[in-house]
């Protein structure tokens, strides 16, 4: 709400005596440029999206013939959020080296579940010894059996670890 409050108080200050349908895309561009000067691209995109949503609300609720001044190609291009760089992908050998150098058996088993089993951190942390039977794991939240033959040896090791 603070985001909307900030944008719309600034918008109201800028266009106090104006009709909404008389605002041009150039005025919106100068307003958003002034408002987001020195901000990160994500902030610029969020402010543009909020203002565009406001004008879309007017169009959808009040006047279907209203032309959204934020709906121009140049504004979309300027205030477009850039894609973040992709996450680095580690080599399989590096992952296995990290796993095998881990000395704590509990941490090692957890890393093997994550790497070999393709499980999520939250799923691994919620596994209890009673959830493991033979080559199957019952994921507590999901309620179904997760079968993965690649981690069958890990399942045996986790049972041994749990019994200690």
What residue ranges in 36-152 does DSSP mark as E strands?
132-133, 136-138, 145-147
Residue 150 confidence class, pLDDT cut points 50, 70, 90 = low
70 and 12: one domain? yes
Range of the domain at 98: 92-163
Q: Is residue 84 part of a domain?
A: no
| Final residue in a domain of this structure, among 78, 106, 137 | 78
| Final residue in a domain of this structure, among 52, 78, 104 | 78
Sequence-distant (≥ 6) Cβ neighbours of residue 55 within 8 angstroms: 20, 66, 68, 69, 70, 71
Write the DSSP symbol of residue 139. -
Overall average pLDDT of the 112-116 stretch: 84
Overall average pLDDT of the 28-57 stretch: 92
- pTM exceeds 0.75, yes or no: no
Contacts of residues 151-155 at CB distance under 8 Å and 24 or more positions apart, as own/partner, are 151/112, 151/113, 151/116, 151/117, 154/109, 154/112, 154/113, 154/116, 154/117
pLDDT at 117 over 90: no
Structurally, the chain folds into a number of domains equal to 2
- Average pLDDT, rounded, for the chain: 84
37 and 101: one domain? no
Overall average pLDDT of the 42-50 stretch: 92
């Amino acid at each position: 709400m603070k985001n909307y409050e900030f944008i719309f108080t600034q918008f109201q200050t800028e266009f106090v005596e104006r009709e909404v349908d008389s605002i041009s895309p150039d005025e919106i561009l100068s307003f958003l440029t002034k408002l987001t000067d020195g901000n990160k691209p994500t902030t610029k995109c969020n402010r543009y999206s909020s203002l565009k949503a406001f004008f879309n609300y007017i169009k959808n609720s009040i006047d279907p013939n209203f032309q959204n001044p934020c709906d121009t190609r140049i504004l979309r291009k300027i205030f477009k959020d850039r894609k973040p760089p992709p996450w680095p992908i580690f080599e399989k050998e590096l992952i296995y080296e990290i796993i095998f150098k881990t000395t704590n058996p509990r941490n090692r088993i957890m890393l093997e579940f994550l790497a070999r089993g393709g499980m999520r951190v939250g799923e691994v942390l919620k596994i209890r010894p009673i959830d493991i039977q033979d080559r199957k794991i019952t994921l507590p939240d999901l309620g179904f059996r997760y079968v993965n033959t690649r981690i069958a040896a890990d399942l045996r090791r986790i049972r041994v670890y749990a019994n200690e």
